[in-house]
Amino acid sequence: MATPNHPGNHDHQSKELPQVLVLEPPPIMKLHGDRFLNDFQLLKAWESPLPLDQFLSIHAQSVKALLTPGRYPLTRNILQLLPSLQLVVTTSAGLNHIDLPEFQRRGIAIASAGDVYSEDVADMAVGFLIDVLRKISAADRYVRKGLWDTKTEFPLGSKLCSKRVGIVGLGSIGQEVAKRLQAFGCRIMYTSRNKKPSVSYPYYSNVLELAADSDVLIICCGLTEQTRHMINKDVMLALGKEGVVINIGRGAIIDEKELVQCLVQRELAGAGLDVFENEPHVPRELLTMDNVVLSPHRAVRTPESLTAMCEHVKGNLEAFFSNKPLLSPVMNI
């Protein structure tokens, strides 16, 4: 029998820990390592010299839970290699990397990020809007380039208060955005899959009508086949020459080529973009526009939100292996 200090004792304990497959390291591991998951045996696919399909075949019969940051598509092909899989925990705010119908067919549960990121993403959306309207980033560049003491006049910004803000997707993030902008004196309206009986904001059943009545569109919804390129040329033209688009959802919700054209042709006043259609590639035209504010898909990432996500992931895994309800279920088994 192994003594408490015998190396074999640790091996025996690790074999008894619940196994969690990790295909690629999530951002929370880059910040905190994997100490927060000491109660689980992590099967790190990226550390194996084996091709992914061989690595998965070795653990196919034993792995019941998978942790994913959302970059790796979880499709039927992957699921066929994991016949015992019962749960996926995703640290991504979106679910567009998951084949939801296939998960449902197989009875695999999904635990989402829940509302862990909602406040930070909402803060970013408001920051983008203030920056675009008041030209903060452009003013910063103007001063740094030494243009203040020249005769070139810096253009005026636009007032935030009283703006008509159309929110596309009034989920937890959209509601946090609405709450913040209401405090600034903005008029809030929205479109969503369904009308929300808990809020009094005017509801629009389609985004084109919402855009026509708005000064600003803020994209807060997830990417699905229904929302891909939902913000098209018609919607942007309806928003108008004084209109501003903020996207903290997913890049492909906006038809990016049409967005660039509308900005180049001054059919829109400006944009704030945290996400893009083909990340990390950003259209060259956007890089020189002073009325566009760009960010490298960082709306969800603050030390505070990543620390909270560690606890959230741990809580979902503990609940699953204890046969308790998940903290943030998307689909239950």
Which residues does the annotation mark as catalytic? 250, 279, 297
Give the residue among 309, 250, 210 at the shortest CA–CA distance from 71.
250
Distance separating the N- and C-terminal Cα atoms of the chain: 39
Within 8 A by CB and 6+ apart from 68, the residues are 22, 23, 24, 26, 74, 88, 89, 90, 91, 92, 97
How far, in Å, CA of 69 to CA of 89, rounded? Answer: 9
Q: Does residue 241 contact residue 266 with C-beta atoms inside 8 Å?
A: yes
- The values of phi and psi at residue 42, to 5°, are -90, 125
- Do 133 and 293 form a contact (C-beta atoms < 8 A)? no
Structure tokens belonging to residue 26? 């999530």
Nearest Cα neighbor of 45 from 22, 75, 17, 27 is 22
Contact of 122 with 169, CB cutoff 8 Å: no
